[in-house]
Amino acid sequence: MAHRDELTKPILPGRGATDYERYLRTDELLALQKPPEELLHKDEMTFLVVHQSSELLLKGAAFELGRAVEAIEHADYGNATRLIRRAMQLLDPPIGLLHILETITPCDYHVIRAGLGHGSGLDSPGFLSLLHIGPRLGHVFHEQLGRAGLTVGDLYRRHQEFFGLHDVAECLLDFDERMQLFRFHHLKLAERIIGGRVVGTMGTPVEVLQQRMESWLYKDLWDVRNQITSAANQTQAGRQ
Ligand code: HEM
């Protein structure tokens, strides 16, 4: 049996006293926040940690959605939905993390904001990568729909026959809904902290955040519900 000292000795290359620290590169990761003496306000640590954690989680979500694009291309719908569901689990925490920032008071936030320069969430690499992957997912889904000779309406009417592709459609809807939820909670956060009738750090009015809530990734997947309901209403009316 190996001696305990030998098992705890790091064997991976890199900095850090243990393999845990080396593998996760915790030295670098934990040096990415301002040291306490440089913080403009003590609440800035929370502001930094929430933003950096969100970027990591959004990166993870976009990575899994990229894998889902490939899976849909190969008609591997089981794997695609597994990966999209995982991506949604990665997306939920950044939505929750937004609420932590509601604990920063509007006055204290302005002390932190003074150090942001022109920094704006509009340049969030994580969110931008989701905005990039969204249409690609929609594109490969529609390609498969076309190959099967189906419209979105057909897919929803014949969902039992095309279970895999229908499940993909529902997962896309989950993704679209998460994007809306992020935007909604973020809008409320911005309204709470800086107000709803001001401009952001890049000169963008906060009202723009409201307008962005109206942009859907997969409008046809939302619309199909209206079609199904009006068809059902007509059938019902015909019976009366
Ligand atoms: C005190 C907290 C926050 C405030 C007051 C705030 C405020 C704002 C404002 C005013 C905008 C509009 C653009 C501009 O900057 O001028 C914006 C955009 C944005 N922010 Fe924040 N934000 C906060 C926290 C966060 C966090 C934690 C994230 C997570 C990554 C985030 C992500 C974004 C994104 C993705 C956009 C673009 C939104 C879109 O495309 O719909 N923000 N934010």
Q: What is the pLDDT of residues 12-29, one digit of tens each?
A: 999 999 999 999 999 999
Rounded-to-integer distance, Cα 84 and Cα 196, Å: 33
Q: Is 186's C-beta closer than 6 angstroms to any atom of ligand 1?
A: yes
Our mutation pick for probing the ligand 1 site, out of 209, 210, 213, 214, counting the most ligand atoms within 8 A of Cβ, is 209
> Which positions of the chain have pLDDT values less than 70?
1-2
Our mutation pick for probing the ligand 1 site, out of 120, 197, 213, 214, counting the most ligand atoms within 8 A of Cβ, is 120
Count of CB atoms within 10 A of residue 80's CB? 29
Count of CB atoms within 10 A of residue 188's CB? 15
Instruction: Please answer whether residues 62 and 134 qualify as being in contact, where contact means their C-beta atoms are separated by less than 8 angstroms.
Output: no
Burial per residue of 37-53, b for 16 or more beta-carbon CB atoms within 10 angstroms, e otherwise: eebbbebbebbeebbee
Going by C-alpha positions, the residue among 201, 226, 217, 219 that lies closest to residue 91 is: 217
The DSSP code for 119 is -
Domain formed by 42-219, architecture: Up-down Bundle (1.20)
pLDDT at site 2? 59
Q: Is 40's C-beta closer than 6 angstroms to any atom of ligand 1?
A: no
| pTM of the predicted model as reported, rounded to 2 decimal places | 0.95
